[in-house]
Amino acid sequence: YDAIKDWCGQMPAVVRLLSYVSLDVKTVKFSRINVFGRDKFTCQYCDGKPGTASLTYDHVLPKSRGGKTCWNNIATCCIECNWKKSDRTPEEAGMVLLHKPYTPNRLPLMRRLVMSVPNSPDEWRDFLYWSTELENE
């Protein structure tokens, strides 16, 4: 133990996992960051990417009209578009929802979130498929 504890050698930038025991987690936690990740950190009305500090989420069907806070009714939205839409449907506000909200699959969402991490090491790119466009499965 003492020899290992005091060792100051080179550490690999990437450790590849050769086998994995599934924890049987099939659903994605419904959270703000996961909604943003599903929508590629992009406003679903104007296609803008203002940064997470200026992103919010929007109830496509407003809560006042019976809309639920769930994957299929929440879309990433910039503050300006959220104010413009207000308590109306996209159609009533004269806006177009670019992509219909959906419940994401776990693995594609995790890849998208990792790809959005700023200043990530170059060594990770080959293992995270950084430049590959992800498809909805």
Whether 69 is covered by a domain: the verdict is yes
Whether 16 is covered by a domain: the verdict is no
Whether 59 is covered by a domain: the verdict is yes
Whether 78 is covered by a domain: the verdict is yes
Give the tokens for residue 61.
């069907």
Higher pLDDT, 35 or 133: 35
Whether 55 is covered by a domain: the verdict is yes
What is the reported pTM?
A: 0.63
- The residue assigned the tokens 């969402």 is 109
Q: How many domains does the chain have?
A: 1
Whether 126 is covered by a domain: the verdict is no
pLDDT of residue 134: 43
Could you tell me the CATH number of the domain that includes residue 50? 1.10.30.50
User: Is pLDDT above 60 for 136?
Assistant: no
Write the pLDDT tens digit of every residue in 88-100. Answer: 999 999 999 999 9
Whether 123 is covered by a domain: the verdict is no
112 in helix, strand or coil? helix
Write the pLDDT tens digit of every residue in 40-90. Answer: 899 999 999 998 889 999 999 999 999 999 999 999 999 999 999 999 999
Highest mean pLDDT among 11-15, 122-126, 131-135: 11-15
43, 81 Cβ separation under 8 angstroms: yes
DSSP letter, residue 7: -
Look up the domain containing 60 and give its range: 27-103
45, 96 Cβ separation under 8 angstroms: yes
Whether 19 is covered by a domain: the verdict is no
Residue 125's pLDDT band (boundaries 50, 70, 90)?
low
